Amino acid sequence: MRTPNEPPKPMTVMRHALLTAVTLALLSSGVADRATAQQPGPDPYMAVERWMQPFAQSGFAWGSNPGVFVESLERIFVVQRGEIELPKPLPSEFEDFVGSIDISALRATPVFRNCIFIVNSRGQLIETWPQWDSLFVGTNGPHKIRISPYDPERRVWVVNERRHQIHVFSNDGQRLLMEFGEAFVEGDDENHFGLPQDVAFLRDGSVLVADGITNSRVVKFDSLGRFVTSWGTRGDGPSQLNGVHAVATDAAGRVYVADRNNDRVQVYNSNGNHLDTWDGLSFPNDVFITADQDVWVADNQPPQMVKFNTNGDRLYSWMLDSGPHRFGEVHEMAVDAEGSWYGSDNLLGRTQKFVPRPGANPELLIEQSVPLSGRRR
């Protein structure tokens, strides 16, 4: 069984150049499909180095960064699994994140402080929500963070994996509006979860929970939070699941599930009927669907971004396993109105920002998701 921090296999420069040429030729000819264009091409983005400005107290750095969500250029939500105390003396190669000095953000013992915070697109701290840090004590911290594009109140949903709960906050963070699941009680019925991982939303206000590691199922609730149905049995057969790590929906109401331990994405209709299976992945962590219905998957062994259409044709990919923009793991991703994309790194302990390279082919860039409705409350 692979581990999330398994080192990537090296690729020679000559082989990478050859594979890139083949991939681009397939794209230009329009014949890229599930059987071809499987190899990575050049990265159409540049990393904004040291984008997010540190704010932890002296002697500490960000902990594991498992989630990022863009509400606007002035409000980018980040969740972290506490803060990590730095070694003394601090190695000279430290670059503001613990992964730069070979500390795994997942294995270090954190202080649960500033677990939810907001920055702007320039990486400046806007606000923190310390009033909710206590919700993560006794857990491994927050897991993912979302806002429904169909919610005029722009409520903020935070997954608390090991508390077996989903917390729903007011947009300003002042109120905890509701919770799904019972705190620290694991189960697989209408009112309990087993290590939930993600949430997604349908146009009618329904909520889908990726429930997740213990249960390997998807749970559907209506717009009032009432249980509707669930689907998924553990296994590796057609429509079975093993490690439901992400869930997303498209404009037609189809549901895309990152079946992580089976190295694939599975597609269902909104009632849980199986429609399709996309193989050929390796530890997919997140699924992001753009407004124009491209499906992007954050695949992770080794880290790479993979583009599909809704038919499951694999269109393009690029690697994120080396250089200053490297990832240990892309855990959640988001895109802003200026075309920059953001990725949270669970292992290295940072959230990165990427901007398009000059002259980058627009077909290779990640567009925004469905715009958020309403205004901040």
Q: Quick check: 76 and 342 in contact, CB under 8 A?
A: yes
pTM for this entry: 0.90
* pLDDT in 10s for each residue of the chain, 377 residues: 333 333 333 333 333 343 344 344 434 434 345 544 568 999 999 999 999 999 999 999 999 999 999 999 999 999 999 999 999 999 999 999 999 999 999 999 999 999 999 999 999 999 999 999 999 999 999 999 999 999 999 999 999 999 999 999 999 999 999 999 999 999 999 999 999 999 999 999 999 999 989 999 999 999 999 999 999 999 999 889 999 999 999 999 999 999 999 999 999 999 999 999 999 999 999 999 999 999 999 999 999 999 999 999 999 999 999 988 999 999 999 999 999 999 999 999 999 999 999 999 999 999 999 989 865 54
Secondary structure in 3-state letters for 272-303: CCEEEEECCCCCCCEEEECCCCCEEEEEECCE
DSSP secondary structure, 98-141, as one string: GGGGT--TTTSPEE----EEEE-TTS-EEEE-GGGGGGGTTSS-
> What domains appear along the chain, each with residue ranges and CATH number?
59-364 (2.120.10.30)
* Number of C-beta neighbours around residue 189 at 10 A: 9
Angle value at C-alpha 279, between 274 and 283, nearest 5 degrees: 105
